[in-house]
Structure 1
């Protein structure tokens, strides 16, 4: 096994301290065994031997002190600094990872959740609410004649219209609803714990709010409308089939003249 440099230094320090302790114990034994005879004539060698033991103890303790101060302490300080840098780097990388993950799940233009987030949330909601037997509603919205807006007024106005619709959706939905931009001019709202009648009323309120929202940029002011397709999960179908059923209702709303809700 290979030891870290600071670990090796610690073992050396402990060894020196143990040696000093052993010498001290030996000196105590000499002192207790020959104490009364230290001052007798001809016994000076005992005192000299004891003095050498005490001197050796002092040298070992001084060595341990200097070794600790000049070598071990700098090693500890260096290791603490390295650990601090490592923690800071780890925290920075973790924050960056969370930022990248958030960016991967967020639509850059509107700040809403994107299609990836929505697909994952749809599966999780169906599993969770299926276990407790509660309904899950799905609303798919598509802005009407949006290509004409881009062709007539430019993509900047089109982007402003998308942001306005996103703000309208955020303002009308509940905190536990999942609101996402699926791509282009298509949005989706996942509405847990809401039956068909309530979902239709909710969708109509959103449709009217979008139609009443004015998109303004410079001297240009316009309004957009949305067609909405609805479905309530039957408790058995897959997430893909559930989405497909709501999407079919969206196309039905388009065929019936747009700016309407179909369920």
Structure 2
């Protein structure tokens, strides 16, 4: 078994102190005699021996003190500094890990939740709402003719449009709704505890709000519309089946002429 350097130093210090203690005990044995006997001429050799023992004890204790101050204490200080650096590094890595985890679940352009977060949240909502027998609504939105915006005005303007739509969605939804950008110009909203009528009314308000939004960039003024597909969970579907059903309604809204809600 190998000891750390500071542990070895500690054992050396303990050994020196124990040796000093043994000398003191022995010296006490020499002193443990009557005063008359101690100061008889034939006992003077014992007194001299006792002086040597006390001197040796002083040397051992001085050695222990020197060893502790100039060797063990620097070792301890070094370890404390290293542990401090390690704690700081661990805290930094933990904070970076949280940041990276958050970044992994967030859409960098709009600041919304991303597809990965949406998929996990949808499954969790269905699992929890199955227990309490409450509805879960799902809304999938796709911006109309968004490719033309990028082709005509450039991707910078397209990014402004996406950010404006994201802001509108955040303003129009509740704090416990899951609002995510799925990718490209497609967004989704998980609306728990909403039946078909409530979900349709919310979707219409969102559709109208997006249609009323104007994106400004220099001399450019853009209007954008969105098509929306809706579905209310039937309590039997998996998350994937539920999503596909809402997605089919989105394509139905596109087929019917866009800028509309299909449920």
TM-score, normalised via structure 1 length: 0.97
Structure 2 CA distance for aligned equivalents of residues 193 and 51 of structure 1: 92
Q: Alpha-carbon deviations, 1:54-93, whole Å to 9, x = none?
A: 1111111111100000000000000011111111111122
User: Does residue 184 in structure 1 map to residue 184 in structure 2?
Assistant: yes
Gaps of 5+ in 2: none
Tell me the secondary structure at the aligned position of residue 42 of structure 1.
Answer: helix
For residues 36 and 138 of structure 1, do their structure 2 counterparts lie closer, same or farther at Cα, with a shift above 3 Å needed? farther
After superposition, where does 1:11-160 map in structure 2 within 5 Å?
Answer: 11-33=11-33, 35-160=35-160
Q: CA deviation at 1:117?
A: 1.2
> C-alpha displacement at 1:159, in angstroms?
1.0
Q: How far apart, in 1, do the equivalents of 2:30 and 2:128 lie?
A: 81
Q: Secondary structure at the match of 1:9?
A: helix
Q: How does 1:248-263 map to 2 (within 5 A)?
A: 248-263=248-263
The 2-side partners of 1:176 and 1:260 are apart by 25
Which blocks of at least 5 consecutive residues in structure 1 are unaligned? Answer: none
Deviation at 1:163, TM superposition (A): 0.5
Q: Tell me how far apart the structure 2 counterparts of residues 111 and 31 of structure 1 sit (CA, whole Å).
A: 84
1:186 positional shift: 0.3
Offset at 1:34? 5.2
Distance 1:91-1:236 versus aligned 2 partners, 3 A rule: same
In 2, Cα distance between the equivalents of 1:119 and 1:20? 71
Contact in 2 for aligned 1:230/1:249 (Cα 8 Å) = yes
**Deviation sequence 1:225-256 (CA, Å, 0-9, x none):** 11111111111111100000000111111111
Q: Indicate the residue corresponding to 1:7 in structure 2.
A: 7
The separation in 1 between residues aligned to 2:241 and 2:116, in whole angstroms, is: 17
Deviations 1:142-188 (A, max 9, x none): 01111122222222111110010001111111111111111111000
Q: How many residues align?
A: 263
Confirm whether residue 211 of structure 1 aligns to residue 211 of structure 2: yes
Q: Work out whether 1:171 is the aligned partner of 2:171.
A: yes
1:41 shift after superposition: 2.0
The separation in 2 between residues aligned to 1:52 and 1:259, in whole angstroms, is 105
Aligned partner of residue 134 in structure 2, secondary structure: coil
In structure 1, C-alpha distance between the alignment counterparts of 2:235 and 2:3, rounded to whole Å: 61
Counterpart contact for 1:34–1:46, Cα < 8 Å: no
2:162 corresponds to which residue? 162
